[in-house]
Structure 1
């Protein structure tokens, strides 16, 4: 059983690495094409059908790029499609979500202080919350709002705020922000899979058949691509938010998440305006700073959920009880309380530590049982914790943690 825990941890690492690689490729492609489209020049001697061109230099060579309003007169022999970066980002992210938050639902997903959910109920809510975002967003885009970009963006922001609040009512703080990121990333990939790529295939099909493509397909695809561009930066923040308890561990985490989306808009507006050669709206940086200061202020609100006082007094769940009842728990508990809890406490006493690292509190039997796997991996079989072994944990104590975990899991 202990080998399964180690394998599962490495599986999570592999999926996370794949997710980062594919996300970098997708984000880089998205940013490049938005900047390219906004920066196109329109000289008078352009061929018929060309709406803009751009000269670029990179890697010692020059590139001459032209954009057609709808499509060229005939299909080019070599056509590069950009889609797999998006698909693999979503697939790897979904797999990582399943490995970490579904398989580890009792630890990372369910917060008994918020909602008393069975594991299957939590997983169903997790999957459903991700799917519903696309359905509502797509319906909004296909409505009359689809031709009013500003109103559409406001409606999308309202949807995000509502979803942020709802997720924070049922999941742990870290899971709520992570799921808001997955909710948004699903909208982005679904835009590519269900709208942008099919529309491009229609245009290609018309070209091959000798028909004049309908420009409406291009307009719709560009609208969805623009939405993706503005959603990218908030998604990156939300995917990294589980490393920052001050972002996810407060009463107002859902407001913090909503404000992050506004910061994404102000930052992208600056760069999009600059790439369009319409000046540098430096006011956006001031607006971003004000929003960030508001987030910092909100983060000082009372902690709740997996950092809250109500969690400190709760009894172990049935899934956690096996760790409390296992042979060697008392020894392991003494090791954790003596070597870990000065930082991993709801009110840390270690100098310079204001909140428990990673939002992990290890003060009660329920706390220790809930984080048994992480303790086993980070302080038992490896020396990742304590950092630099600052609390001088002995080899015998690490062995005691390993023995306790294996006794509880049958390893």
Structure 2
């Protein structure tokens, strides 16, 4: 019953996180697009810095952006905040349900000496420390040198990835970095963007002067969130693909993901603003993707000519001891009471039919057994690899 309830919590929280994330990121993309496409040419109405005509959903829309604030505060004013807050709430709840509740299975690296409690505390500390570093950098004079801020955040991602690799399972390392960036984004909204907007509304009511610093403070945090969006999205989906997170070079892959996705976002921003350098940013991203594709191609095990054929009985024993504890009609694992994804390896026919998946997960990426919980040895992987290759001949 406990596993059943946890599955429901996992599914509902994941769905809620996805929906609120789409709402928040969609709004972010739209407002950045809007800012880049406002018509600022020619004579504008008094107090207006730009306008835009649009057609959507069977109707015409007309939008205007004020230079500071309108003469009278509108009775109904929409605030874009709950999308961000609920994305954090659902995301953190999901982190607790999946990675903290099952810390020994999902969070911690196999064979690590630290306890589940220590691992959770290290994870929580990273969420706080990541924000504090970013916030203090962005409050300093460096805020006007965004290239340096980006470089500092890249260093934070790199150091964090290598640090957590020592204790966390590969997939958990990716989730941890994604969560750290996500927390920074939501805290930007809560601690900086929303207070700036409240000061803007207060100035409108009191008809007081609005310092440029207030507007800039909110703008730069929003702009940073715009650049963080693609790294977070890709990191969150990449944990479903072992080619990215498995192996000792996973931190380097994380760094590459951060650079490539920021470059792609930079391309869209430059292109939207009509500035030079957009094609250079896109070209650099494409080159890095090509390099990553080449470097991540899995190596094939060496086949010794004349080697004695591997008997299925050897494979059956490996499967029984290392794989079927979870992937079975009747799992014996203490966490999985139902075969994950309904994937079973009880019979020879099932194993042969799944040969490509088994090769990808146990040989090419070493991502299975999950967290190497059943302690599959390299010798067993080599034997399994040679047998799987023999099936393809």
* Mapped pair 1:360 → 2:368: yes
Tell me what 2:162 maps to.
165
Q: CA deviation at 1:61?
A: 1.5
Tell me what 1:43 maps to.
41
Tell me what 1:135 maps to.
132
| Partner SS for 2:160 | helix
* Mapped pair 1:109 → 2:107: yes
**Matched pairs, number:** 338
> For the residues of structure 2 that align with 1:340 and 1:102, how far apart are their CA atoms?
37
Check 1:352–1:118 CA distance in 2 against 1; reply closer, same or farther (3 A cut).
closer
Are the counterparts in 1 of residues 110 and 372 from structure 2 also a CA contact under 8 Å? Answer: no
* Mapped pair 1:267 → 2:264: yes
Gaps of 5+ in 1: 303-311, 326-334, 369-411
> Which runs of structure 2 are paired with 1:182-221 in the superposition (5 Å)?
182-221=179-218
Q: Deviations over 1:368-394 (max 9, x none)?
A: 9xxxxxxxxxxxxxxxxxxxxxxxxxx
> For the residues of structure 2 that align with 1:279 and 1:338, how far apart are their CA atoms?
60
Tell me what 2:379 maps to.
none
Are the counterparts in 2 of residues 53 and 66 from structure 1 also a CA contact under 8 Å? Answer: yes
Check 1:258–1:27 CA distance in 2 against 1; reply closer, same or farther (3 A cut).
same
Q: Deviations over 1:99-128 (max 9, x none)?
A: 000011111111134x31111111111111
> For the residues of structure 2 that align with 1:186 and 1:155, how far apart are their CA atoms?
17
Aligned residue among 254, 270, 274 for 2:251: 254
Q: Deviations over 1:191-220 (max 9, x none)?
A: 000000011001111221221222211101
* Mapped pair 1:154 → 2:151: yes
TM-score (ref. length: structure 1)? 0.75
Tell me what 1:124 maps to.
121
> How much is the aligned-residue C-alpha RMSD, in angstroms?
3.1
Tell me what 2:278 maps to.
281
Check 1:365–1:94 CA distance in 2 against 1; reply closer, same or farther (3 A cut).
closer
Q: CA deviation at 1:80?
A: 1.0
* Mapped pair 1:100 → 2:105: no
Check 1:73–1:153 CA distance in 2 against 1; reply closer, same or farther (3 A cut).
farther
| Partner SS for 1:366 | coil
> For the residues of structure 1 that align with 2:85 and 2:47, how far apart are their CA atoms?
31
Q: CA deviation at 1:367?
A: 5.4
Q: CA deviation at 1:28?
A: 0.5
Are the counterparts in 2 of residues 273 and 281 from structure 1 also a CA contact under 8 Å? Answer: yes
> For the residues of structure 2 that align with 1:4 and 1:189, how far apart are their CA atoms?
32
Check 1:123–1:207 CA distance in 2 against 1; reply closer, same or farther (3 A cut).
same
Aligned residue among 82, 85, 88 for 1:87: 85
Tell me what 2:355 maps to.
350
TM-score (ref. length: structure 2)? 0.78
Gaps of 5+ in 2: 300-317, 327-331, 335-343, 377-393
After the TM superposition, list the runs of 4 or more consecutive aligned residues in structure 1 that deviate by more than 6 angstroms.
362-365
